[in-house]
Every structure is written in structure tokens, then in C-alpha cells.
């Protein structure tokens, strides 16, 4: 799964850009999800589902057309992404998150420096001639979508250090600069992978090797065991 952030101050065109990018990426055949940061409480329509959330930490409403899930309490982006089945996630806000590249939406040239954290792919604006791309220009939207497809990524926020960088943030900056590739993240390419109901769980190298060696030690005592790819399914 790839991800790109869209950051900027109010009325900088973030929502317009997300809508237009999601339309273009979908037109190109990619499955797109949107994750948005909201300040304060989240408003819901006055319904039974909304009332239920006052009493329990998990509420879900399911219909023949769509499903809604409400979780009480703040969650990490990584927690929410376990529910997401898509190719590209567009993340609005979350300025302090540092595990994915960002598009910086600006209203004036000075805002670019204020929002700079080393993860900028490019700038975009509703205004002309102050940014790399114009949000209302159809050709620019296509160019931005192409960059998102090619250069977006999401690191696991484990900060395990096995990539030879002290944090995922440091590696992310080098990937954005073009000096490293996403393959540098050992945790995204572990010697063992775990999926639960189709959702992949990130493991740091220590945990991954621990699971691998424990399982192989148990299997090696079985009659007929030989080296090869091991598949274990637990219903």
C-alpha cells in the first residue's frame, strides 16, 4: 500500500486537491482511500448508530451498500490502515506524521517554508504562479497523479534501526530525496510475513526472525520435513 499526505493551512485547496486526485487515480484504475485528520470531536448525523457510541467503544452500521465503523479513542494511522484495502491512501492533515511523503498546499510563497519537514514531493495551490502545480489545472492534476503513483510510500513507523537509520523519518527523507528506495526498509521485506484475514502485519526484524526460527525448530522434528516455503493456515 502506498500513501501520500496532503498538508496545508485552512482554505489552501487541500480538499479540492484530494477530490481531484482521487478521481484521476481512480480513472487510471487504482483503488483509492482517503484518511482525514479532524480537530476536536467528529460530528455524526443524529441516528441510532451515533447514539450507541456514547455507551460502547466500538459501533458498526452495516447495509447492503456500505459499512460504517466508529471506534472510540485516538488511533494511530497504522491501526486504521489495517481496515483499508486499496492501492493508494491520500492522507489529509497529520502534519506531524513523518512516515510518508507529502504534497504541500499553499496560499502564498511563505507558507512553503513553514510547512517544510523534509518530506515534500511538491507544492500545489489554487493560485497561479506561486507553486509547482495548480490545483484547478487538469494537466497539472494528471502530472501530480503520475508523481503520486511513482513516488508515494508508507513506512511502518517501527523505528527499528535495521535500515541503518535511527528512525523511519530519517529513511523517509532520504527516499523523498531519491537517495534511498523503499526496499531499504527491512520491516517491509521480513523473512516471515503474517496475514490475518488478508491484512498484513508489520514485524520488526527481531520479532520476524524469532517467529521464523521458532516455527522452523518445531517443524524440523516432523517426519518428512524439508527446506522450502512454509505455509501455515489457522482458521
* Residue 151 contacts residue 121 (beta carbons within 8 Å): yes
Which has the closest alpha carbon to 21: 8, 12, 34? 34
Query: Total structural domains in the chain?
Result: 1
d(CA 198, CA 202) in angstroms, rounded, equals 13
Question: Quick check: is 67 in a domain?
Answer: no
Question: Quick check: is 111 in a domain?
Answer: yes
Question: Quick check: is 140 in a domain?
Answer: yes
Q: What is the DSSP string of 8-35?
A: ESTTSSHHHHHHHHHHHHHHTT--EEEE
d(CA 123, CA 120) in angstroms, rounded, equals 8
The model's pLDDT over 159-179, given as tens digits with 9 standing for 90+, comes to: 888 888 999 999 999 999 999
| CATH number of the CATH domain containing 117 | 3.40.50.300
d(CA 164, CA 180) in angstroms, rounded, equals 11
How many Å separate Cα 98 from the centre of its chain?
11
The number of C-alpha atoms within 13 Å of 54 and in the hemisphere containing its C-beta is 7
Question: Quick check: is 91 in a domain?
Answer: yes
pTM of this prediction? 0.77
Question: Quick check: is 115 in a domain?
Answer: yes
Work out the pLDDT band at 88, boundaries 50, 70, 90: very high
Q: Which residues pair with 3 in a beta bridge?
A: 89
Provide the residue range defining the domain that includes 146.
Answer: 2-42+74-154
* Residue 24 contacts residue 145 (beta carbons within 8 Å): yes
Determine the pLDDT at residue 191: 63
Question: Quick check: is 116 in a domain?
Answer: yes
Q: Is the pLDDT of residue 99 over 90?
A: yes
* Grid cell 489545472 in the structure block, residue: 137
Q: Are strands 2-8 and 102-105 parallel, antiparallel or unpaired?
A: parallel
DSSP 8-state code for residue 109:
T
Cell output for 41: 470531536
Question: Quick check: is 202 in a domain?
Answer: no
Work out the pLDDT band at 2, boundaries 50, 70, 90: very high
The model's pLDDT over 36-84, given as tens digits with 9 standing for 90+, comes to: 988 767 776 667 777 887 788 888 888 888 888 888 888 888 888 877 8
d(CA 213, CA 200) in angstroms, rounded, equals 20
Question: Quick check: is 170 in a domain?
Answer: no
Amino acid at each position: 500500500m502506498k500513501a501520500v499526505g496532503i498538508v496545508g493551512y485552512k482554505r489552501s485547496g487541500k480538499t479540492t486537491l484530494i477530490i481531484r486526485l482521487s478521481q484521476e487515480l481512480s480513472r487510471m484504475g487504482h483503488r483509492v482511500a482517503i484518511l482525514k485528520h479532524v480537530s476536536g470531536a467528529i460530528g455524526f448525523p443524529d441516528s441510532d448508530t451515533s447514539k450507541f457510541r456514547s455507551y460502547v467503544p466500538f459501533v458498526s452500521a452495516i447495509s447492503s451498500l456500505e459499512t460504517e465503523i466508529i471506534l472510540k479513542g485516538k488511533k494511530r494511522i497504522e491501526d486504521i490502515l489495517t481496515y483499508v484495502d486499496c492501492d493508494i491512501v491520500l492522507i489529509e492533515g497529520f502534519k506531524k506524521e513523518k512516515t510518508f511523503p507529502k504534497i504541500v498546499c499553499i496560499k502564498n510563497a511563505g507558507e512553503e517554508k513553514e510547512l517544510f519537514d523534509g518530506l515534500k514531493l511538491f507544492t500545489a495551490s489554487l493560485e497561479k504562479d506561486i507553486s509547482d502545480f495548480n490545483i484547478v489545472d487538469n494537466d497539472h492534476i494528471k502530472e501530480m497523479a503520475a508523481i503520486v503513483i511513482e513516488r508515494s510510500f508508507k513506512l511502518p513507523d517501527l523505528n527499528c534501526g535495521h535500515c541503518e537509520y535511527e528512525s523511519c523519518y530519517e529513511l523517509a527523507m532520504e527516499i523523498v530525496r531519491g537517495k534511498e528506495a523503499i526496499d531499504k526498509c527491512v520491516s517491509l521485506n521480513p523473512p516471515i510475513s503474517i496475514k490475518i484475514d488478508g491484512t498484513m502485519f508489520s514485524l520488526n526484524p527481531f520479532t520476524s526472525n524469532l517467529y521464523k526460527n521458532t516455527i522452523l525448530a518445531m517443524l524440523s522434528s516432523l517426519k518428512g520435513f524439508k527446506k522450502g516455503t512454509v505455509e501455515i493456515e489457522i482458521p
